[in-house]
Amino acid sequence: MTGMNSLNKNIPTIIIVLGATGDLMKKKIVPALFNLYEDKKLPKLFHIIGFSRRKFSPSDFREYLKSILDKKSDISSFLMMFSYQSGQLEKAGDYNNLSAVLGRIDGEWKACSNKLFYLAVSPAMYEPILENLSSSGLTTPCSPEEGWTRILVEKPFGKNLKTSEDLDKLLSSLFKEEQIYRIDHYLGKDMLQNILQFRFSNNLFEDSWNNKCIEKVEIRLLEKIGVEQRGNFYDGLGALRDVGQNHLLQMLALITMERPESFTAKVIREERANILEMLNRYHLREIKKYSFRGQYDGFKSIKGVSPNSTTETYFKIRAYLKGQRWNGVPFILESGKRMGLSKKEIVIIFKHPTPCLCPPNIHYKNRIVFRLEPEEKIVMTLFAKKSGLENKIEERTVQFLYKSTNSSVQYVEAYEKLLFDAILGDQTLFASTKEIAAMWKFTDPIVAAWNKNVVPLVRYSPDRTEISEKARYIEQDDNLGVTLNKNVGIIGLGKMGSGIALQLVEKGWNVFGYNRTESVTKNLEQSGLKGRYSIESLIKSLPTPRIVWLMLPAGSVIDDMLNLLIPLLSKKDLIIDGGNSFYKDSIKRNSLLKSRHIRFMDIGVSGGPSGAKNGACLMVGGEKKDFQELEPLIKAVAAPAAYGFFGKVGAGHFAKMIHNGIEYGMMEGIAEGAAVLKQSRYNFDLSEVFRVYNNRSVIESRLVKWTQESFVDDQNLKQISSVIQSSGEAEWTIKVAKDEGVSIPVIKQSLLVRQQSKNIADDSPDGFRNKVVSAQRGKFGQHKVEKQ
């Protein structure tokens, strides 16, 4: 993230590559160092020591490097930066010879050089190498002022959380965290670095970068290549631990992390770790539903692979994040080998606008694609009017080609960046201990379940994409192990019931509706509701087990409706009471229905008519298994992340009761403040005051917004009644609080104010205060609050 300045370039530096004759040195490290050398990005005093068991002389080693680079131009000056020390990596005595070489170079330079130890070996060799480095004293800096030492280790960082923690313990015995550079080479890719700049350096998307606007995120790494010569290594690891636990989850972190305070390594790594710690950790039932694994035919015949191998070469996992911002958004993680194509990308799929001004059964959805292969580019899909006389919409794309991908130097550029930053001391693109622990905590339960064959291994033909299609069900928005029929009956099509009905119709549900006033039902039929004009016909229209959602006033109306429904329903049918019933009444009704083998749930619904139509807040009580079965329906009605299961029957209505009590107190507090403002000497423009209140202040809220809108309509609220209507929920709250021994003076006083409002003069200061509360009720609940 920072550039090499002149001071850095004058500091003598040595890289010691342990395992210098392996594939990593050959394919990535040497080409990357050569490119840095050509670009003049290396310090002036710079040396690379190869340390490996092969019996090379320094000149033999340079010839070996020359054959790797295969350059026609003269590269002798670059090769002279290399020397070689033969030795056994696991033999402590051979590190003494390495120490002598380092001492000689420092003597020639007349300085204590910085030393960077690169473990270009199998993770199985980490422990003996680290122990030998420690005992030899090679990792001890010359002094606090000069000659730092750093260590580079390649992923995988262990095989699970336990081995990862063991490795960290070993590393931390030698180095501080700021000296440890854990390489996940995907973080070195320009396109992934560009995600942060795209998100945080522009002001176009970040306000929409959340569950309110984003429907789904797909992250995939599909490869043409197979395991080839890596059989022994790969069979002990598998696709999930090879690329899922690291590459894919790091990509997820970059897409979802919060805005950093700065682009410094410490801040960015902390934000990545914070979001990774929010990954939902699955139990067996969820793993069975949300994960898929496969193995390509021919994998077992590869050298080093067990003939009985159950190692996956393909997987697809549906992941979720906790927290307000991303709750409910599925992240589809997919990777596979021998897929017949190379496709590496992150796809952000936005929700269609609500209401969607789209043709029937078609929803326009914007997308942003960060593509790594086959070309590095960003693609955005937008919708615009098609040229011509007709008002037709067509999809358009806006593309930014970052650069063409050159497969012959795959990942070399990433290693250039990582080596450059390691020399510089910038850890931004290196994984931290906290990130790695969070990633293992997510993947460990999945690997353990797969080892028990909880998710069967599916065979697939290499060089084809059918396996991806077979795993598509992982992406579907259904419930765990249960396919819910998308049929629901709604009884009560008033302001709230009609909104819920229309929202479900728009989302593809078959909604059968009944209302006592037939004209209401007929009007809704024009929007796709299947109207029914008797309770009997509604029940007969629903497939079993039936789901009947009541949106009726609290009290005897509910009991009367249950008496009508019970003879018509069958065992295991389910009734939802979505009204504002008293929680003890819900418990009694559940007992009655349970004796008839009919299920019951209580759901408190908040958000007013606009919430019912466009996404409400739902508080759910009932049996956990019923909630799990009905979650697709509940999720379809709720705003993003705006629902929760709170416990046994009655919990939903209890939570809604308390919600309404709090609402009374908040509304009264806002109204009292408005009344004092109006009476003050300053002649405030109340709409302007409340506009400011509702922009980043502590009291910013929907209630403040509705108050401000009321003052925009009429600064003095002349047409609003000062008599405040009230329902029973606040009284219930006060009664329950008394029973529980809790004092709630604010809620109690707010109810008293409403009850006494009919005795307050309309044109008095207290009358104005009461008008503010009435105006709020009119805004969020569409209650009639005008003077009669």
Residues 160-170 pLDDT 10s? 999 999 999 98
The answer to whether 377 and 344 are in contact (CB under 8 A) is: no
Same domain, 512 and 644: yes
What pLDDT, on the 0 to 100 scale, is given for residue 345?
95
Asked if the structure places residue 592 within a domain, the reply is yes
Q: What is the pLDDT of residues 220-276, one digit of tens each?
A: 999 999 998 889 889 989 999 999 999 999 999 999 999 999 889 999 999 999 999
Domain that residue 736 falls in: 658-781
- Buried-exposed string 290-327: b where 16+ CB fall within 10 A, e elsewhere: bbbbbbbeebbebeebeeebebbbbbbbbbbbeeebbb
Active-site positions read 247
Same domain, 612 and 670: no
Number of separate domains in the chain:
4
Cβ neighbours, 10 Å, residue 76: 9
Cβ neighbours, 10 Å, residue 605: 26
Q: Is the pLDDT of residue 134 over 80?
A: yes
Asked if the structure places residue 501 within a domain, the reply is yes
Question: In the predicted model, what is the mean pLDDT of residues 555-564?
Answer: 94
Locate 198 and state its tokens: 């795209």
Same domain, 60 and 112: yes
Domain boundary among 135, 154, 173: 154
Same domain, 341 and 201: yes
Kindly report which listed range (101-105, 286-290, 405-409, 431-435) carries the lowest average pLDDT score. 405-409
**Could you tell me which residues are beta bridge partners of residue 183?**
154
Q: Is the pLDDT of residue 391 over 90?
A: no
- Buried-exposed string 361-371: b where 16+ CB fall within 10 A, e elsewhere: eeebbbbbbbb
Same domain, 611 and 683: no
What distance in Å separates the CA atoms of residue 581 and residue 166, rounded to the nearest whole number?
Answer: 55
What distance in Å separates the CA atoms of residue 660 and residue 110, rounded to the nearest whole number?
Answer: 77
Give the DSSP letter of residue 704. Answer: H
Residue 508: CATH number of its domain: 3.40.50.720
Asked if the structure places residue 85 within a domain, the reply is yes
Question: In the predicted model, what is the mean pLDDT of residues 365-389?
Answer: 88
Q: What is the pLDDT of residues 693-707, one digit of tens each?
A: 999 999 999 999 999
Asked if the structure places residue 692 within a domain, the reply is yes
Question: In the predicted model, what is the mean pLDDT of residues 116-145?
Answer: 86
What pLDDT, on the 0 to 100 scale, is given for residue 482?
46
Label residue 2 by pLDDT band (50, 70, 90). Answer: very low
Same domain, 630 and 697: no
Asked if the structure places residue 528 within a domain, the reply is yes
Label residue 388 by pLDDT band (50, 70, 90). Answer: confident
What distance in Å separates the CA atoms of residue 732 and residue 748, rounded to the nearest whole number?
Answer: 11
Residue 334: CATH number of its domain: 3.30.360.10
What distance in Å separates the CA atoms of residue 80 and residue 82, rounded to the nearest whole number?
Answer: 5
Locate 363 and state its tokens: 């929803």
Domain boundary among 128, 154, 180: 154
Same domain, 544 and 624: yes
Same domain, 274 and 328: yes
Q: What is the pLDDT of residues 278-312, one digit of tens each?
A: 999 999 989 999 999 999 999 999 999 999 999 99
Same domain, 430 and 318: yes
Kindly report which listed range (137-141, 422-426, 669-673) carries the lowest average pLDDT score. 137-141
Which among 84, 770, 35 is positioned nearest to 417, based on CA atoms?
Answer: 35
Asked if the structure places residue 27 within a domain, the reply is yes
Domain boundary among 443, 473, 503: 473
Kindly report which listed range (55-64, 137-146, 531-540) carries the lowest average pLDDT score. 137-146
* 482 or 56, higher pLDDT: 56
Length of the chain: 788
User: Which residue matches tokens 């850095």?
Assistant: 8
Asked if the structure places residue 457 within a domain, the reply is yes
Same domain, 602 and 540: yes
Q: What is the pLDDT of residues 666-683, one digit of tens each?
A: 999 999 999 999 999 999
Q: Is the pLDDT of residue 7 over 50?
A: no
What pLDDT, on the 0 to 100 scale, is given for residue 201?
87
Same domain, 595 and 618: yes
**Could you tell me which residues are beta bridge partners of residue 247?**
none
Cβ neighbours, 10 Å, residue 587: 18
Asked if the structure places residue 177 within a domain, the reply is no
Same domain, 245 and 324: yes
Question: In the predicted model, what is the mean pLDDT of residues 65-70?
Answer: 88
- Predicted TM-score (pTM) of the model is 0.81
Q: What is the pLDDT of residues 622-646, one digit of tens each?
A: 999 999 999 999 999 998 889 999 9
Q: Rounded mean pLDDT of the chain? A: 91
Question: In the predicted model, what is the mean pLDDT of residues 447-473?
Answer: 95
Q: Of all residues in the chain, what percent carry a pLDDT higher than 70? A: 95
Distances (CA, A) of 51 to 37, 73, 100, 237: 21, 27, 13, 27
